[in-house]
Amino acid sequence: MPFKRIKSHIDEALQTYPSIKIVILTGGECFLLGKDLERVIEYIREKGRLSRVVTNAYWAKDYDSAVKKLSTLKTAGLTEFNISTGDNHQQFVPFQYVANAIEVALFLNISPVVIAIEAHPNSKFTRANIEQIDKFKESIENKKITIIEGAWMNFVNNADNIPDNKICTNVISGRCEYLFHGITINPYSQMLACCGLTVEYNPYLKLGDLTRNTLADLHEKQFEDLFKLWLYVDGPKHIYECIQKKKKSALEKFPHKCAYCMEIIKNEENISILKTCIKKELPSILSRINLLKAL
C-alpha cells in the first residue's frame, strides 16, 4: 500500500474514532514497506498515537543491521515491538536474526518487546529456548520481554483436524473478543471485521472496500449482522457445536477459535442451519449484547 493511502486511512480512522490509542503495522511483513514504514511511524507520532510493528526480523541479519533499522524507527517514534518466530518461521528466518532484533530493541528502550512463538503439539522451538538465553533472562524477569505462544494453523487444507490428545492448550471456548474493538485494514484497502488468523479466507468477515465506502459506514454495518453479534457473545466454537448438533454430525476439535469460525462458513448447508439457529438464540444474543455495551 502506498504511503499516501496509508496516511489517508489513518486520518479517516482517527477522525471517525478519536478514542483510538494505537496504530499497529503488521502483515504479512510490514518492514517490506521500506522507507515508508519510517514515514508512517513518524506520522502516527505526529498524530499523538502509539505505534507497534509486528515482524519476523528478516532484516536483522547481524547486530549492526538491526541497530541501523530499529534506531531509525525509534527516532521516528516507534513505541512497541512485536516479533514472531518458531519452527516454521525459522525455515526462512534463523533465530539469530530474532535474537539480534530483541537485543537491539532492549538497548534502544523500545518497550514492551513481545515475542510470539508458534505453538503446536510437536513444537521443537518453545518459550524455554528463549528463557534459557542468559542475556534475556533479566529482561524477562523485569517484564521488558513478554513471551506468548499462539496456535499454529495449517492453511493448506484450511483448518486441519488434529487428534484430541494433541489439541493445543490455547483457550478456544468463549466469545470472540477480536470483533468490534479495532479498525483492521488489509493492503488492498479492504476493511476487515477482525485481525483473526483466518480473516482473509472468510468472506463473511470482509466488510468492504474503503475506496468506495466510508470507514464509519463499514464499521457500523457490522452491528446489523447477527452472525457477528453471536460470534461476539458466544464465540465460534459454540456456534459450530450448535450447527453440528442440528446436523447430527460429529463434533471435531480444531486448534484455534479462528479455525472454528472458518469451519462454520465452509459450506452452504452450514449457513442455512446457522440462520435457523440464530432465530432461536436471538433474544439471548440481543440481551447480552446490550449488557456488554452497558459494561
Element (DSSP H or E) covering residue 140: helix 134-141
Per-residue pLDDT reduced to its tens digit, 119-135? 887 889 999 999 999 99
247 and 104 within one domain: no
Residue 194 belongs to domain with CATH number: 3.20.20
Q: Are 202 and 220 in contact (CB under 8 A)?
A: no
Of 219, 241, 273, the last residue of a domain is 219
Per residue in 57-72, pLDDT (tens digit) is 999 999 999 999 999 9
Verify that 102 and 191 share a domain, yes or no: yes
Same domain, 122 and 171: yes
Same domain, 24 and 113: yes
* Residue 255 pLDDT: 78
Give the range of the structural domain holding residue 263, as residue numbers without chain letter: 226-294
**Whether residues 189 and 262 fall in one domain:** no
- Picking from 171, 187, 219, the residue at the C-terminal end of a domain is 219
Cell readout for 61 is 541479519
- CA gap 37, 154 in Å, rounded: 29
Looking at the structure, do residues 36 and 8 belong to the same domain, yes or no?
Answer: yes
Domains: count for the chain: 2
Burial class (CB in 10 A: 0-12, 13-18, 19+), 45: middle
CA Rg value for the chain: 21
* Helix, strand, coil % over all residues of the chain, rounded to 5: 50, 15, 35
User: Alpha-carbon distance 283 to 287, whole Å?
Assistant: 6
Tell me: do 134 and 179 sit in the same domain: yes
Whether residue 165 is predicted with pLDDT greater than 80 in this model: the reply is no
Are 112 and 250 in a shared domain? no
pTM score of the predicted model: 0.88
Lowest mean pLDDT among 24-38, 91-105, 112-126: 112-126
- Residue at a domain's end among 168, 194, 219: 219
- Report residue 151's pLDDT band, with 50, 70 and 90 as the boundaries: confident
Same domain, residue pair 60 and 84 = yes
Is the same domain home to 198 and 277?
no
Both 255 and 109 in one domain: the answer is no
Residue 57 to residues 54, 69, 77, 80, 190: CA-CA distances in angstroms?
A: 9, 10, 19, 14, 26
Whether residue 256 sits in one domain with residue 119: no
pLDDT score at 155: 63
